[in-house]
Structure 1
Amino acid sequence: MASAPQATNLPLFYNDLMPLNSRDHGNWHSRTTDQAKWLVGQHAIPLTAEEFVHASRNYPIVFSVGEPPVPLGLMGLNEGVNTFIDDEGRASEKVYIPAYARRYPFMLAKLAPESEELSLCFDPTTDLVGEFDDGAALFNAEEPSDTTKSTLEFCRNFEEAGFRTQNFVEELAKHDLLMDGEVAIQQAGNDQPFVYRGFKMVNQEKLRELRGDVLRQWNQNGMLALIFAHLFSLELMSDVFARQVQQGKGPVPVLAS
Protein backbone atom coordinates (compact mmCIF):
# COMPACT_ATOMS: atom_id res chain seq x y z
CA MET A 1 0.00 0.00 0.00
CA ALA A 2 2.34 2.71 1.21
CA SER A 3 5.68 3.22 -0.41
CA ALA A 4 8.57 5.62 0.04
CA PRO A 5 9.85 7.71 -2.88
CA GLN A 6 11.33 5.61 -5.63
CA ALA A 7 14.86 4.38 -4.96
CA THR A 8 16.36 6.13 -7.99
CA ASN A 9 18.71 9.07 -8.39
CA LEU A 10 15.71 11.40 -8.54
CA PRO A 11 13.16 11.93 -5.77
CA LEU A 12 9.42 11.54 -6.16
CA PHE A 13 7.83 14.01 -8.66
CA TYR A 14 11.13 15.06 -10.27
CA ASN A 15 12.00 14.01 -13.84
CA ASP A 16 15.30 15.87 -13.90
CA LEU A 17 17.24 18.43 -11.88
CA MET A 18 19.08 21.55 -13.02
CA PRO A 19 20.89 24.12 -10.84
CA LEU A 20 19.35 27.59 -10.97
CA ASN A 21 21.81 30.35 -11.92
CA SER A 22 21.70 33.89 -13.26
CA ARG A 23 23.90 33.09 -16.27
CA ASP A 24 21.52 30.56 -17.80
CA HIS A 25 18.25 31.68 -16.23
CA GLY A 26 18.63 35.44 -15.86
CA ASN A 27 15.46 36.16 -17.87
CA TRP A 28 13.39 33.27 -16.54
CA HIS A 29 10.19 33.55 -14.55
CA SER A 30 8.30 31.32 -12.12
CA ARG A 31 4.55 30.77 -12.37
CA THR A 32 2.09 29.84 -9.67
CA THR A 33 -0.66 27.33 -10.35
CA ASP A 34 -3.75 25.79 -8.80
CA GLN A 35 -3.11 22.58 -10.75
CA ALA A 36 -0.58 20.38 -8.97
CA LYS A 37 -0.37 17.83 -11.77
CA TRP A 38 2.56 16.13 -10.06
CA LEU A 39 0.15 15.00 -7.33
CA VAL A 40 -2.31 13.31 -9.69
CA GLY A 41 -2.44 9.60 -8.87
CA GLN A 42 0.09 9.88 -6.03
CA HIS A 43 -1.37 8.15 -3.00
CA ALA A 44 1.52 8.43 -0.49
CA ILE A 45 3.28 11.76 0.03
CA PRO A 46 6.31 12.21 2.31
CA LEU A 47 5.70 14.31 5.43
CA THR A 48 7.91 16.03 7.95
CA ALA A 49 7.14 15.37 11.60
CA GLU A 50 6.10 18.96 12.24
CA GLU A 51 3.32 18.55 9.67
CA PHE A 52 1.68 15.66 11.54
CA VAL A 53 -0.92 17.73 13.40
CA HIS A 54 -2.09 19.54 10.25
CA ALA A 55 -2.05 16.46 8.02
CA SER A 56 -3.79 14.24 10.60
CA ARG A 57 -6.98 16.28 10.19
CA ASN A 58 -7.35 15.08 6.58
CA TYR A 59 -5.70 11.70 6.03
CA PRO A 60 -3.82 8.86 7.76
CA ILE A 61 -0.13 9.16 8.58
CA VAL A 62 1.95 5.99 8.37
CA PHE A 63 5.61 5.05 7.95
CA SER A 64 7.15 3.33 4.94
CA VAL A 65 8.57 -0.17 5.27
CA GLY A 66 11.95 0.79 3.80
CA GLU A 67 15.06 1.81 5.72
CA PRO A 68 15.02 4.37 7.05
CA PRO A 69 11.23 4.58 7.51
CA VAL A 70 9.68 7.70 5.98
CA PRO A 71 6.50 9.33 7.33
CA LEU A 72 3.82 9.35 4.63
CA GLY A 73 0.46 11.05 4.29
CA LEU A 74 -1.99 8.64 2.62
CA MET A 75 -4.17 10.65 0.25
CA GLY A 76 -5.36 7.30 -1.09
CA LEU A 77 -5.05 3.69 0.05
CA ASN A 78 -4.29 2.11 -3.31
CA GLU A 79 -1.47 2.75 -5.78
CA GLY A 80 -2.43 5.36 -8.36
CA VAL A 81 -5.31 6.83 -6.33
CA ASN A 82 -5.34 10.30 -4.76
CA THR A 83 -8.79 10.98 -3.37
CA PHE A 84 -8.12 14.68 -2.68
CA ILE A 85 -6.61 15.72 -6.05
CA ASP A 86 -8.66 15.47 -9.25
CA ASP A 87 -7.35 14.49 -12.66
CA GLU A 88 -6.44 18.12 -13.43
CA GLY A 89 -4.35 18.43 -10.29
CA ARG A 90 -6.80 20.58 -8.37
CA ALA A 91 -7.72 19.93 -4.75
CA SER A 92 -11.31 18.73 -4.58
CA GLU A 93 -11.72 20.51 -1.24
CA LYS A 94 -9.67 22.30 1.39
CA VAL A 95 -6.93 19.83 2.25
CA TYR A 96 -3.45 20.08 3.72
CA ILE A 97 -0.81 19.75 0.98
CA PRO A 98 2.54 18.46 2.32
CA ALA A 99 5.54 20.77 2.06
CA TYR A 100 7.30 18.08 0.02
CA ALA A 101 4.75 18.65 -2.75
CA ARG A 102 4.52 22.43 -2.33
CA ARG A 103 8.23 22.95 -2.94
CA TYR A 104 8.02 21.43 -6.44
CA PRO A 105 9.53 22.18 -8.97
CA PHE A 106 12.36 23.41 -6.73
CA MET A 107 14.54 21.61 -4.22
CA LEU A 108 17.99 21.80 -2.65
CA ALA A 109 20.49 19.27 -3.96
CA LYS A 110 24.21 18.55 -4.05
CA LEU A 111 25.81 19.37 -7.39
CA ALA A 112 28.53 16.77 -6.74
CA PRO A 113 28.44 13.65 -4.52
CA GLU A 114 31.49 14.78 -2.57
CA SER A 115 30.10 18.27 -1.97
CA GLU A 116 28.56 19.28 1.35
CA GLU A 117 26.90 22.36 -0.11
CA LEU A 118 23.30 22.29 -1.27
CA SER A 119 22.26 24.37 -4.28
CA LEU A 120 18.82 25.50 -5.37
CA CYS A 121 17.76 23.33 -8.30
CA PHE A 122 14.57 22.84 -10.31
CA ASP A 123 12.94 20.30 -12.57
CA PRO A 124 13.50 21.63 -16.14
CA THR A 125 10.63 19.51 -17.49
CA THR A 126 8.06 21.62 -15.61
CA ASP A 127 6.00 24.36 -17.24
CA LEU A 128 6.14 26.42 -14.04
CA VAL A 129 9.65 27.76 -14.68
CA GLY A 130 10.89 29.10 -17.99
CA GLU A 131 11.79 31.94 -20.31
CA PHE A 132 8.32 33.41 -20.57
CA ASP A 133 6.94 36.90 -19.86
CA ASP A 134 4.35 36.12 -17.20
CA GLY A 135 5.06 35.12 -13.62
CA ALA A 136 7.63 36.37 -11.13
CA ALA A 137 11.19 37.10 -12.22
CA LEU A 138 13.79 34.74 -10.75
CA PHE A 139 16.62 37.28 -11.00
CA ASN A 140 17.09 41.04 -10.93
CA ALA A 141 20.13 41.49 -13.13
CA GLU A 142 22.51 38.91 -11.61
CA GLU A 143 20.96 38.97 -8.12
CA PRO A 144 18.29 36.54 -6.95
CA SER A 145 14.85 38.13 -6.84
CA ASP A 146 12.64 38.20 -3.76
CA THR A 147 10.75 35.25 -5.27
CA THR A 148 13.93 33.20 -5.54
CA LYS A 149 15.02 34.20 -2.03
CA SER A 150 11.64 33.10 -0.64
CA THR A 151 11.87 29.81 -2.54
CA LEU A 152 15.37 29.21 -1.23
CA GLU A 153 14.23 29.92 2.33
CA PHE A 154 11.29 27.52 1.98
CA CYS A 155 13.56 24.76 0.69
CA ARG A 156 16.08 25.38 3.49
CA ASN A 157 13.32 25.17 6.08
CA PHE A 158 12.14 21.94 4.49
CA GLU A 159 15.64 20.42 4.68
CA GLU A 160 15.94 21.40 8.34
CA ALA A 161 12.52 19.88 9.04
CA GLY A 162 13.74 16.75 7.27
CA PHE A 163 16.67 16.42 9.68
CA ARG A 164 14.34 16.83 12.66
CA THR A 165 12.04 14.20 11.18
CA GLN A 166 14.97 11.82 10.76
CA ASN A 167 15.82 12.29 14.44
CA PHE A 168 12.18 11.66 15.36
CA VAL A 169 12.09 8.39 13.40
CA GLU A 170 15.45 7.31 14.82
CA GLU A 171 14.08 7.85 18.32
CA LEU A 172 11.09 5.64 17.52
CA ALA A 173 13.40 2.96 16.14
CA LYS A 174 15.71 3.22 19.15
CA HIS A 175 12.82 2.14 21.39
CA ASP A 176 11.55 -0.43 18.85
CA LEU A 177 8.18 1.28 18.56
CA LEU A 178 7.53 0.77 14.85
CA MET A 179 5.70 -2.40 13.87
CA ASP A 180 4.18 -3.78 10.67
CA GLY A 181 0.72 -2.31 10.23
CA GLU A 182 -2.46 -3.95 9.05
CA VAL A 183 -5.92 -2.49 8.56
CA ALA A 184 -9.03 -4.46 7.58
CA ILE A 185 -11.95 -2.49 6.13
CA GLN A 186 -15.31 -4.17 5.71
CA GLN A 187 -17.39 -2.86 2.84
CA ALA A 188 -21.13 -3.40 2.79
CA GLY A 189 -22.08 -6.14 0.32
CA ASN A 190 -18.71 -7.89 0.43
CA ASP A 191 -18.16 -10.99 2.52
CA GLN A 192 -14.42 -10.47 2.91
CA PRO A 193 -12.82 -7.28 4.23
CA PHE A 194 -10.19 -5.42 2.26
CA VAL A 195 -6.89 -5.82 4.11
CA TYR A 196 -4.14 -3.24 3.75
CA ARG A 197 -0.54 -3.94 4.69
CA GLY A 198 2.85 -2.69 3.56
CA PHE A 199 3.30 0.10 6.08
CA LYS A 200 4.55 0.63 9.61
CA MET A 201 2.85 2.23 12.59
CA VAL A 202 3.58 2.90 16.24
CA ASN A 203 3.04 -0.09 18.52
CA GLN A 204 0.67 1.21 21.21
CA GLU A 205 1.42 -1.63 23.63
CA LYS A 206 5.14 -0.87 23.59
CA LEU A 207 4.36 2.83 23.88
CA ARG A 208 2.44 2.19 27.10
CA GLU A 209 5.36 0.16 28.45
CA LEU A 210 7.96 2.91 28.00
CA ARG A 211 9.74 4.19 31.06
CA GLY A 212 8.27 7.25 32.68
CA ASP A 213 11.37 9.37 32.18
CA VAL A 214 11.28 8.73 28.41
CA LEU A 215 7.61 9.66 28.21
CA ARG A 216 8.21 12.82 30.24
CA GLN A 217 11.02 13.82 27.92
CA TRP A 218 8.89 13.17 24.84
CA ASN A 219 6.02 15.14 26.37
CA GLN A 220 8.34 18.08 27.01
CA ASN A 221 9.95 18.11 23.56
CA GLY A 222 6.65 17.60 21.70
CA MET A 223 7.42 14.14 20.36
CA LEU A 224 4.55 12.52 22.25
CA ALA A 225 2.06 14.87 20.57
CA LEU A 226 3.39 13.81 17.17
CA ILE A 227 2.97 10.14 18.04
CA PHE A 228 -0.62 10.69 19.12
CA ALA A 229 -1.35 12.68 15.94
CA HIS A 230 -0.10 9.69 13.95
CA LEU A 231 -2.17 7.21 15.98
CA PHE A 232 -5.36 9.28 15.86
CA SER A 233 -4.97 9.79 12.11
CA LEU A 234 -5.21 6.03 11.51
CA GLU A 235 -8.94 6.34 12.22
CA LEU A 236 -9.18 8.11 8.84
CA MET A 237 -8.27 4.92 6.94
CA SER A 238 -11.94 4.04 6.54
CA ASP A 239 -12.77 7.62 5.50
CA VAL A 240 -10.20 7.58 2.70
CA PHE A 241 -11.44 4.14 1.66
CA ALA A 242 -14.99 5.52 1.49
CA ARG A 243 -13.76 8.42 -0.65
CA GLN A 244 -12.20 5.94 -3.09
CA VAL A 245 -15.47 4.02 -3.37
CA GLN A 246 -17.48 7.21 -3.81
CA GLN A 247 -15.14 8.35 -6.59
CA GLY A 248 -15.34 4.97 -8.32
CA LYS A 249 -11.72 4.20 -7.48
CA GLY A 250 -12.27 1.53 -4.87
CA PRO A 251 -10.43 -1.81 -4.96
CA VAL A 252 -12.03 -4.72 -6.79
CA PRO A 253 -13.14 -7.58 -4.53
CA VAL A 254 -11.39 -10.90 -5.03
CA LEU A 255 -14.01 -13.49 -5.89
CA ALA A 256 -13.82 -16.82 -4.10
CA SER A 257 -12.93 -19.68 -6.43
Structure 2
Amino acid sequence: MTEQPSASSEPQRTAMPLFYNRVFSLDPARDQGLRLASAPNAAFARQTSLIPLLANEFGAALADYPIVFTSGATVDAVAVVGIKTDENLFVDADGRWKAGCYVPAYVRRYPFIFIDLPDGDSSALGYDPDSTLIGPDQDVPLFDGDQPTDATRQALSFCATFRNEARTSAAFVKAIVEAGVLTEKAAQISLSNGAQARADGFQVVDEEKLGRLPDDQLLDWQRKGWLALIHGHLFSLHRWPELVARSLA
Protein backbone atom coordinates (compact mmCIF):
# COMPACT_ATOMS: atom_id res chain seq x y z
CA MET A 1 0.00 0.00 0.00
CA THR A 2 1.43 3.34 -1.00
CA GLU A 3 0.63 6.05 1.50
CA GLN A 4 3.24 8.30 3.02
CA PRO A 5 1.71 11.64 4.03
CA SER A 6 4.13 13.88 5.89
CA ALA A 7 3.51 15.53 9.22
CA SER A 8 2.85 19.26 9.48
CA SER A 9 1.12 21.79 11.68
CA GLU A 10 -0.98 22.48 8.59
CA PRO A 11 -3.14 19.77 6.99
CA GLN A 12 -1.68 17.98 3.98
CA ARG A 13 -3.58 18.53 0.73
CA THR A 14 -1.77 16.37 -1.81
CA ALA A 15 -1.27 12.64 -2.34
CA MET A 16 -3.87 11.75 0.25
CA PRO A 17 -4.69 8.05 0.77
CA LEU A 18 -8.23 6.79 0.22
CA PHE A 19 -10.75 8.34 2.68
CA TYR A 20 -8.36 11.02 3.94
CA ASN A 21 -9.09 14.59 2.90
CA ARG A 22 -6.36 16.27 4.95
CA VAL A 23 -3.89 15.06 7.58
CA PHE A 24 -2.75 16.77 10.79
CA SER A 25 -0.12 15.43 13.13
CA LEU A 26 -1.73 14.94 16.54
CA ASP A 27 -0.37 17.71 18.77
CA PRO A 28 -1.01 17.67 22.55
CA ALA A 29 -0.59 21.45 22.77
CA ARG A 30 -3.07 22.18 20.01
CA ASP A 31 -5.42 19.19 20.19
CA GLN A 32 -6.23 18.80 23.89
CA GLY A 33 -9.89 19.41 23.16
CA LEU A 34 -10.18 16.71 20.49
CA ARG A 35 -12.41 13.73 21.20
CA LEU A 36 -13.15 10.52 19.34
CA ALA A 37 -16.56 9.01 18.56
CA SER A 38 -17.25 6.05 20.84
CA ALA A 39 -19.30 4.10 18.28
CA PRO A 40 -17.80 2.91 14.98
CA ASN A 41 -19.28 4.44 11.85
CA ALA A 42 -18.14 3.63 8.31
CA ALA A 43 -20.19 6.20 6.40
CA PHE A 44 -16.90 7.53 4.97
CA ALA A 45 -16.45 4.18 3.16
CA ARG A 46 -19.93 4.07 1.65
CA GLN A 47 -18.93 5.31 -1.82
CA THR A 48 -16.00 3.07 -2.68
CA SER A 49 -16.07 -0.44 -4.13
CA LEU A 50 -12.46 -1.38 -3.32
CA ILE A 51 -10.92 -1.44 0.15
CA PRO A 52 -7.13 -1.88 0.55
CA LEU A 53 -6.36 -5.16 2.28
CA LEU A 54 -3.32 -6.36 4.20
CA ALA A 55 -1.93 -9.79 3.41
CA ASN A 56 -2.55 -11.03 6.94
CA GLU A 57 -6.28 -10.25 6.47
CA PHE A 58 -6.80 -12.58 3.51
CA GLY A 59 -7.91 -15.47 5.71
CA ALA A 60 -10.61 -13.42 7.42
CA ALA A 61 -11.72 -11.44 4.36
CA LEU A 62 -12.05 -14.29 1.85
CA ALA A 63 -15.28 -15.49 3.44
CA ASP A 64 -17.03 -12.23 2.52
CA TYR A 65 -15.28 -10.55 -0.43
CA PRO A 66 -13.46 -11.29 -3.66
CA ILE A 67 -9.81 -10.37 -3.10
CA VAL A 68 -8.12 -8.99 -6.22
CA PHE A 69 -5.14 -6.86 -7.20
CA THR A 70 -5.41 -3.41 -8.72
CA SER A 71 -4.08 -2.59 -12.18
CA GLY A 72 -1.75 0.22 -13.12
CA ALA A 73 1.66 1.41 -12.06
CA THR A 74 0.96 0.72 -8.38
CA VAL A 75 -0.53 -2.66 -7.52
CA ASP A 76 -2.35 -3.27 -4.23
CA ALA A 77 -4.42 -6.09 -2.80
CA VAL A 78 -8.03 -4.99 -2.31
CA ALA A 79 -11.33 -6.41 -1.11
CA VAL A 80 -14.16 -5.87 -3.60
CA VAL A 81 -17.17 -4.53 -1.68
CA GLY A 82 -19.30 -3.24 -4.54
CA ILE A 83 -20.14 -3.79 -8.20
CA LYS A 84 -20.32 -0.09 -9.11
CA THR A 85 -17.29 2.10 -8.48
CA ASP A 86 -19.16 4.40 -6.08
CA GLU A 87 -20.92 1.80 -3.93
CA ASN A 88 -20.11 -0.26 -0.88
CA LEU A 89 -22.71 -2.96 -0.44
CA PHE A 90 -21.61 -3.65 3.12
CA VAL A 91 -22.28 -0.20 4.62
CA ASP A 92 -25.86 0.91 5.23
CA ALA A 93 -27.29 4.43 5.16
CA ASP A 94 -26.44 4.91 8.84
CA GLY A 95 -22.80 3.93 8.37
CA ARG A 96 -23.14 0.48 9.91
CA TRP A 97 -20.98 -2.27 8.41
CA LYS A 98 -22.92 -5.43 7.56
CA ALA A 99 -23.18 -7.50 10.73
CA GLY A 100 -21.07 -10.64 10.71
CA CYS A 101 -18.86 -9.48 7.84
CA TYR A 102 -15.17 -8.75 8.24
CA VAL A 103 -14.25 -5.06 8.49
CA PRO A 104 -10.84 -4.41 6.87
CA ALA A 105 -8.14 -2.86 9.04
CA TYR A 106 -7.87 0.03 6.59
CA VAL A 107 -11.43 1.02 7.54
CA ARG A 108 -10.93 0.43 11.27
CA ARG A 109 -7.82 2.62 11.27
CA TYR A 110 -9.62 5.77 10.05
CA PRO A 111 -9.52 8.67 11.02
CA PHE A 112 -5.98 7.98 12.27
CA ILE A 113 -2.86 7.25 10.23
CA PHE A 114 0.89 6.97 10.81
CA ILE A 115 2.76 9.86 9.19
CA ASP A 116 6.42 10.64 8.55
CA LEU A 117 7.98 13.53 10.44
CA PRO A 118 10.04 16.17 8.59
CA ASP A 119 13.32 14.75 9.96
CA GLY A 120 12.74 11.70 7.78
CA ASP A 121 13.72 9.30 10.58
CA SER A 122 10.65 9.17 12.77
CA SER A 123 6.86 8.94 12.58
CA ALA A 124 3.87 10.23 14.52
CA LEU A 125 0.17 9.65 14.85
CA GLY A 126 -1.88 11.73 12.45
CA TYR A 127 -5.59 12.21 11.87
CA ASP A 128 -8.01 13.61 9.32
CA PRO A 129 -9.40 16.87 10.78
CA ASP A 130 -12.36 16.69 8.40
CA SER A 131 -13.56 13.33 9.72
CA THR A 132 -16.91 13.34 11.49
CA LEU A 133 -15.48 10.71 13.85
CA ILE A 134 -13.22 13.20 15.58
CA GLY A 135 -13.86 16.67 17.03
CA PRO A 136 -14.58 18.63 20.23
CA ASP A 137 -18.18 17.36 20.41
CA GLN A 138 -17.39 13.64 20.35
CA ASP A 139 -17.26 11.26 23.32
CA VAL A 140 -13.78 9.96 24.08
CA PRO A 141 -10.97 12.41 24.93
CA LEU A 142 -7.63 11.96 23.17
CA PHE A 143 -5.65 13.81 25.84
CA ASP A 144 -5.74 14.13 29.59
CA GLY A 145 -3.96 17.43 29.98
CA ASP A 146 -0.89 17.04 27.80
CA GLN A 147 -0.83 13.25 28.16
CA PRO A 148 -2.37 10.83 25.65
CA THR A 149 -5.34 8.79 26.85
CA ASP A 150 -5.76 5.05 26.36
CA ALA A 151 -7.74 5.78 23.19
CA THR A 152 -4.80 7.67 21.69
CA ARG A 153 -2.30 4.99 22.73
CA GLN A 154 -4.49 2.30 21.19
CA ALA A 155 -4.76 4.29 17.95
CA LEU A 156 -0.99 4.72 17.87
CA SER A 157 -0.41 1.00 18.44
CA PHE A 158 -2.94 0.05 15.78
CA CYS A 159 -1.43 2.40 13.20
CA ALA A 160 2.11 1.21 13.97
CA THR A 161 1.06 -2.42 13.53
CA PHE A 162 -0.80 -1.50 10.35
CA ARG A 163 2.32 0.11 8.88
CA ASN A 164 4.47 -2.92 9.69
CA GLU A 165 1.94 -5.29 8.15
CA ALA A 166 1.64 -3.00 5.11
CA ARG A 167 5.37 -3.39 4.49
CA THR A 168 5.05 -7.18 4.64
CA SER A 169 2.09 -7.03 2.26
CA ALA A 170 4.00 -4.80 -0.14
CA ALA A 171 6.81 -7.37 -0.30
CA PHE A 172 4.32 -10.11 -1.20
CA VAL A 173 2.60 -8.02 -3.89
CA LYS A 174 5.96 -6.90 -5.33
CA ALA A 175 7.03 -10.54 -5.61
CA ILE A 176 3.99 -11.70 -7.54
CA VAL A 177 4.13 -8.65 -9.83
CA GLU A 178 7.79 -9.25 -10.62
CA ALA A 179 7.15 -12.96 -11.15
CA GLY A 180 4.59 -12.10 -13.84
CA VAL A 181 1.83 -14.32 -12.47
CA LEU A 182 -0.89 -11.65 -12.48
CA THR A 183 -3.31 -11.31 -15.36
CA GLU A 184 -6.00 -8.75 -16.18
CA LYS A 185 -9.48 -10.01 -15.44
CA ALA A 186 -13.08 -8.85 -15.84
CA ALA A 187 -16.33 -10.06 -14.32
CA GLN A 188 -19.45 -10.08 -16.48
CA ILE A 189 -22.53 -9.47 -14.33
CA SER A 190 -26.19 -10.02 -15.22
CA LEU A 191 -28.48 -7.53 -13.48
CA SER A 192 -32.09 -8.17 -12.45
CA ASN A 193 -33.47 -6.00 -15.26
CA GLY A 194 -31.66 -8.11 -17.85
CA ALA A 195 -28.88 -5.59 -18.42
CA GLN A 196 -25.25 -6.61 -18.29
CA ALA A 197 -22.61 -4.95 -16.16
CA ARG A 198 -18.87 -5.42 -16.33
CA ALA A 199 -16.41 -5.13 -13.47
CA ASP A 200 -12.87 -4.70 -14.74
CA GLY A 201 -9.62 -2.90 -14.02
CA PHE A 202 -8.29 -5.56 -11.68
CA GLN A 203 -5.88 -8.49 -11.78
CA VAL A 204 -5.87 -12.05 -10.46
CA VAL A 205 -3.22 -14.73 -10.19
CA ASP A 206 -3.06 -16.93 -13.27
CA GLU A 207 -2.74 -20.51 -12.04
CA GLU A 208 -0.99 -21.67 -15.21
CA LYS A 209 1.65 -18.95 -14.89
CA LEU A 210 2.01 -19.80 -11.21
CA GLY A 211 2.57 -23.46 -12.05
CA ARG A 212 5.37 -22.58 -14.48
CA LEU A 213 7.48 -20.87 -11.82
CA PRO A 214 10.73 -22.64 -10.83
CA ASP A 215 10.43 -25.13 -7.99
CA ASP A 216 12.92 -23.26 -5.82
CA GLN A 217 10.85 -20.06 -6.13
CA LEU A 218 7.65 -21.87 -5.22
CA LEU A 219 9.39 -23.46 -2.25
CA ASP A 220 10.59 -20.03 -1.11
CA TRP A 221 7.05 -18.66 -1.41
CA GLN A 222 5.71 -21.65 0.49
CA ARG A 223 8.13 -21.02 3.34
CA LYS A 224 7.15 -17.34 3.46
CA GLY A 225 3.44 -18.18 3.51
CA TRP A 226 2.87 -16.52 0.17
CA LEU A 227 1.41 -19.59 -1.55
CA ALA A 228 -1.24 -19.74 1.16
CA LEU A 229 -2.06 -16.09 0.42
CA ILE A 230 -2.38 -16.87 -3.28
CA HIS A 231 -4.65 -19.83 -2.59
CA GLY A 232 -6.77 -17.64 -0.31
CA HIS A 233 -7.02 -15.01 -3.05
CA LEU A 234 -8.09 -17.64 -5.61
CA PHE A 235 -10.63 -19.15 -3.24
CA SER A 236 -12.10 -15.72 -2.55
CA LEU A 237 -13.05 -15.32 -6.21
CA HIS A 238 -15.96 -17.67 -5.48
CA ARG A 239 -17.51 -14.73 -3.61
CA TRP A 240 -18.39 -12.93 -6.88
CA PRO A 241 -21.87 -14.53 -7.22
CA GLU A 242 -22.69 -13.57 -3.62
CA LEU A 243 -21.56 -10.01 -4.25
CA VAL A 244 -23.75 -9.82 -7.35
CA ALA A 245 -26.70 -11.24 -5.41
CA ARG A 246 -26.17 -8.62 -2.72
CA SER A 247 -26.20 -5.88 -5.37
CA LEU A 248 -29.55 -7.14 -6.69
CA ALA A 249 -31.22 -7.50 -3.29
**Structures share fold, TM-score greater than 0.5:** yes
How far apart are residue 23 of structure 1 and its match?
0.3
How far apart are residue 187 of structure 1 and its match?
5.2
Normalising by structure 2, we get a TM-score of 0.88
How far apart are residue 213 of structure 1 and its match?
1.9
- Tell me which of 111, 120, 123 is aligned to 2:125: 120
What is residue 197 of structure 1 aligned with on the other side?
200
Q: Percent of counterpart pairs with the same letter?
A: 32
Q: 3-state SS of the aligned residue for 1:95?
A: coil
Q: Letter of the aligned partner of 2:136 in structure 1? A: E
How many angstroms apart in 2 are the aligned matches of 1:205 and 1:195? 24
Pair 1:84-2:90 in alignment = yes
Task: Identify the range of structure 1 (47-56 vs 84-93) with the bigger mean alpha-carbon deviation.
Answer: 84-93
- Tell me which of 34, 47, 53 is aligned to 2:53: 47
Q: 3-state SS of the aligned residue for 2:220?
A: helix
How far apart are residue 210 of structure 1 and its match?
1.7
Structure 1 residue ranges without an equivalent (≥5): 247-257
What is residue 13 of structure 1 aligned with on the other side?
19
How far apart are residue 208 of structure 1 and its match?
1.3
What is residue 94 of structure 1 aligned with on the other side?
100
Q: Letter of the aligned partner of 1:65 in structure 2? A: S
How far apart are residue 145 of structure 1 and its match?
1.6
What is residue 32 of structure 1 aligned with on the other side?
38
Q: 3-state SS of the aligned residue for 2:201?
A: coil
- Tell me which of 64, 67, 71 is aligned to 1:65: 71
What is residue 172 of structure 2 aligned with on the other side?
168
- Tell me which of 159, 163, 179 is aligned to 1:159: 163
Task: Identify the range of structure 1 (87-96 vs 43-52) with the bigger mean alpha-carbon deviation.
Answer: 87-96
What is residue 238 of structure 1 aligned with on the other side?
241
How many angstroms apart in 2 are the aligned matches of 1:220 and 1:245? 41
Structure 2 residue ranges without an equivalent (≥5): 4-13
- Tell me the C-alpha RMSD between the 2 structures: 2.0
Q: Is the alpha carbon distance of 1:57 and 1:193 closer, same or farther for their aligned partners in structure 2, counting shifts above 3 Å?
A: same
Q: Is the alpha carbon distance of 1:189 and 1:80 closer, same or farther for their aligned partners in structure 2, counting shifts above 3 Å?
A: closer
Q: Letter of the aligned partner of 1:125 in structure 2? A: D
How far apart are residue 26 of structure 1 and its match?
1.8
Q: 3-state SS of the aligned residue for 2:16?
A: coil
Normalising by structure 1, we get a TM-score of 0.86
How many angstroms apart in 2 are the aligned matches of 1:187 and 1:18? 43
Q: Is the alpha carbon distance of 1:82 and 1:188 closer, same or farther for their aligned partners in structure 2, counting shifts above 3 Å?
A: closer
How far apart are residue 184 of structure 1 and its match?
2.5
How far apart are residue 128 of structure 1 and its match?
2.1
How many angstroms apart in 2 are the aligned matches of 1:110 and 1:213? 37
How far apart are residue 116 of structure 1 and its match?
3.4
Task: Identify the range of structure 1 (84-93 vs 146-155) with the bigger mean alpha-carbon deviation.
Answer: 84-93
How many angstroms apart in 2 are the aligned matches of 1:135 and 1:189? 45
How many angstroms apart in 2 are the aligned matches of 1:157 and 1:233? 25
How many angstroms apart in 1 are the aligned matches of 2:199 and 2:139? 43
How far apart are residue 181 of structure 1 and its match?
1.1
Q: Is the alpha carbon distance of 1:140 and 1:185 closer, same or farther for their aligned partners in structure 2, counting shifts above 3 Å?
A: same
Question: Number of aligned pairs?
Answer: 238
Q: Letter of the aligned partner of 2:124 in structure 1? A: S
